[in-house]
């Protein structure tokens, strides 16, 4: 049997006995030197609601480790708020922070010879970074969710951060009074916790439970619920069990586990950011899992949940009907995920959810009536809306939609792939003339100036990982949700959008413009089309003309003003590889 302190013993009982003087200074006894040591990754950023309570939860995890006969040591990592940095210089720091968290956690945990790691998932890039570190090191460990924020209340109805962005966009074109939009802004985020809809934070939580790296129910327990404290306290016993069974991260992160995670985010109507993170995690876990594999899963997986932004429900609603175990049980019964996969409990997913209640699924009151997705809220496409405000779940034989909102396309505009999330088109295809931009703010201003018209394909480029750190452009995406454009335009970009975005959006276009991807060759007025079901995207320009443009194209001079961004850009792989480090994964192009 492998010693529980398999790694820390080289420090506590190693040849350099003098180093243990520091441990005595921490109050440890000689007997403590035989206890396993656990690094607890805490993304510290008390100026962000998502992370406001991270230090307190990290302390609870340490307390639970002590109760389980382990020594838990919290350590801090960088954290960047996607919301607070939107549209500003800091937007380029968001994805960078994921890789920094992965490197920081790997650095601290491996350098200090810890035997296991717990990573706290509070904001969009926290959990992915810690998961990447676990997979890279292949240590025992798990990810815990910091929990969702509660919805706010405006005029008797629940509101979230999604309503803030949508109402501000509506006010900018005179659709609602600015005073009303500002009132929603003041009440939508009433306390600590990650964004409560199926945005990037919660999509990753669902993915981690489905993949087996997060304890049951952790993703759905709200931040302020007393059960979140118990969730953190229980982590110590789970880690001890993993050490006793010698369960390592890669024992859990199998190819089938990745299929489970992909199917779960598809069925939940989740965020495109999870695609990027799953690809990165697969690279770190040395699992062969690509955009082509995701494409097949997304095509065959129906949407069974009405989380916002495609519907109206939040993670608090999921918690109130029994939590994420209810969702996973629903997916297992539907044959969409494999319940035999191993999890951090030492049991299978099926065993974890055996006692969960059945999902209270009801067929949508407005059925999907064509090939296209439905629409959240009111629009010209309400006749085809599949949003059901009465139920969080749909039965598998009457889904909200028979295929995922997210789809992957390949073609001459995106040879290495582009990820679409479409929630406001009456058909899963689109064709129109391009109108090109190089910043999200320019897109927002063009909407206000009525320069973007129905039928346009908005091309937002030179915002990819090398060019700009791949910031989220939620403000631009929200601007396109105004009534006269919602469902009547498409956005294509080499950057990312937030999980709170909705509309017809294609992102992560690879290769990006800055490295000479075809998206750099698009001119205003060029026809662009995509068709989600065959998974194709086409720039309708003759090859001869594209070759001529390529010969004339000059790579931009990129000089990053920040060191962290320069380091990231110098080593980052393209989006189809999850934007991992080419310096570490040297085989990637």
Task: Read off the pLDDT of residues 413-443 as tens digits, 9 standing for 90 and up.
Answer: 999 999 999 866 668 899 999 999 999 889 9
Question: Quick check: 379 and 356 in contact, CB under 8 A?
Answer: no
Euclidean distance between CA atoms 116 and 139, whole angstroms: 6
Q: Are strands 429-437 and 141-145 parallel, antiparallel or unpaired?
A: unpaired
Q: ∠ CA(113), CA(117), CA(121), 5° rounding?
A: 145
Residue 476's pLDDT band, with cuts at 50, 70 and 90, is confident
Q: Could you give the CA distance from residue 13 to residue 6 in angstroms, rounded to a whole number? A: 11
- Average pLDDT of the chain, as a whole number: 92
For 283-335, the pLDDT digits (tens) are 999 999 999 999 999 999 999 999 988 889 999 999 999 999 999 999 999 99
User: For residue 298, which phi and psi values (nearest 5 degrees)?
Assistant: -65, -35
For the whole model, what pTM was predicted?
Answer: 0.94
Mean pLDDT of 475-495: 86
Instruction: Please name which of 46, 83, 270 lies closest in space to residue 188, comparing C-alpha atoms.
Output: 83
Q: What is the pLDDT of residue 479?
A: 75
Q: Which of 512, 432, 408 lies closest to 480 in space, CA to CA?
A: 432
**pLDDT digit string, tens, across residues 462-474:** 999 999 999 998 7
C-alpha distances in angstroms, 403 versus 101, 263, 425, 532? 34, 11, 14, 10
How far is residue 407's CA from residue 294's CA, in Å, rounded to a whole number?
Answer: 8
User: What per-residue confidence (pLDDT) applies to 475?
Assistant: 72
Domains of the chain (ranges; CATH) run 151-190 (no CATH), 410-558 (3.50.30.80)
Active-site residues, by number, are: 498
Spatial distance between the Cα atoms of 420 and 535, rounded to a whole number of angstroms = 10
* From 378-387, 413-422, 439-448, the region with the lowest mean pLDDT: 378-387
For the chain, give the percent of residues with pLDDT over 70: 94
């Amino acid at each position: 049997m492998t010693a529980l302190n398999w790694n820390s013993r080289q420090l506590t009982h190693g040849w350099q006995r003098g180093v243990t003087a520091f441990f005595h200074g921490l109050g440890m006894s000689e007997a403590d030197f035989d206890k396993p040591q656990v690094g607890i990754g805490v993304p510290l950023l008390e100026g962000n609601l998502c992370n406001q309570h991270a230090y307190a939860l990290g302390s609870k995890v340490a307390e639970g480790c002590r109760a389980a006969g382990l020594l838990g040591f919290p350590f801090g990592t960088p954290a960047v708020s996607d919301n607070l940095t939107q549209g500003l210089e800091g937007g380029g720091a968001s994805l960078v922070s994921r890789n920094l968290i992965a490197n920081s956690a790997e650095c601290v945990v491996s350098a200090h010879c810890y035997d296991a790691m717990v990573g706290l998932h509070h904001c969009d890039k926290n959990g992915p970074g810690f998961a990447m570190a676990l997979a890279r090191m292949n240590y025992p460990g798990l990810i815990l969710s910091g929990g969702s924020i509660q919805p706010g209340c405006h005029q008797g109805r629940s509101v979230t951060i999604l309503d803030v962005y949508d109402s501000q966009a509506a006010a900018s074109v005179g659709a609602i009074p600015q005073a009303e939009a500002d009132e929603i802004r003041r009440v939508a985020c009433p306390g600590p916790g990650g964004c409560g809809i199926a945005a990037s934070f919660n999509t990753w939580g669902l993915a981690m439970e489905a993949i087996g790296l997060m304890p049951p129910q952790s993703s759905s327990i709200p931040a302020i619920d007393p059960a979140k404290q118990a969730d953190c306290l229980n982590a110590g016993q789970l880690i001890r069990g993993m050490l006793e069974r010698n369960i390592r991260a890669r024992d859990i992160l199998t190819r089938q586990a990745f299929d489970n995670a992909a199917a779960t985010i598809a069925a939940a109507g989740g965020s495109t950011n999870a695609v990027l993170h799953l690809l990165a995690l697969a690279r770190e876990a040395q699992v062969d899992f690509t955009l082509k594999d995701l494409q097949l899963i997304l095509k065959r997986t129906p949407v069974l949940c009405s989380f916002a932004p495609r519907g109206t429900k939040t993670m608090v609603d999921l918690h109130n009907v029994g939590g994420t175990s209810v969702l996973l049980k629903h997916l297992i019964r539907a044959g969409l995920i494999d319940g035999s996969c191993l999890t951090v409990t030492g049991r299978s997913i099926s065993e974890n959810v055996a006692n969960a209640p059945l999902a209270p699924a009801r067929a949508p009151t407005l059925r999907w009536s064509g090939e296209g997705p439905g629409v959240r809220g009111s629009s010209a496409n309400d006749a085809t809306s599949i949003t059901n405000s009465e139920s969080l779940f749909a039965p598998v034989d009457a889904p909200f939609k028979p295929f995922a909102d997210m789809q992957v396309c390949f073609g001459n505009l995106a040879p290495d792939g582009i990820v679409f999330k479409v929630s406001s088109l009456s058909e899963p295809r689109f064709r129109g003339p391009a109108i090109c931009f190089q910043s999200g703010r320019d897109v927002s201003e063009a909407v206000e100036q009525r320069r973007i018209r129905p039928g346009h394909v908005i091309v937002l480029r030179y915002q990819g990982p090398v060019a700009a750190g791949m910031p989220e452009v939620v403000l631009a995406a929200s601007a396109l949700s105004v009534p006269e454009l919602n469902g009547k335009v498409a956005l294509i970009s080499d950057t990312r959008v937030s999980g709170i975005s909705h509309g017809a959006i294609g992102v992560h276009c690879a290769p990006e413009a800055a490295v000479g991807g075809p998206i750099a060759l698009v001119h205003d007025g060029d026809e662009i089309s995509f068709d989600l079901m065959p998974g194709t995207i086409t720039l309708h320009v003759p090859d001869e003309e594209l070759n001529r443009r390529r010969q004339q194209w000059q790579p931009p001079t990129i000089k990053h003003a920040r060191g962290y961004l320069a380091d990231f850009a110098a080593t980052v792989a393209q989006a189809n590889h999850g934007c991992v480090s080419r310096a570490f994964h040297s085989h990637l192009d």
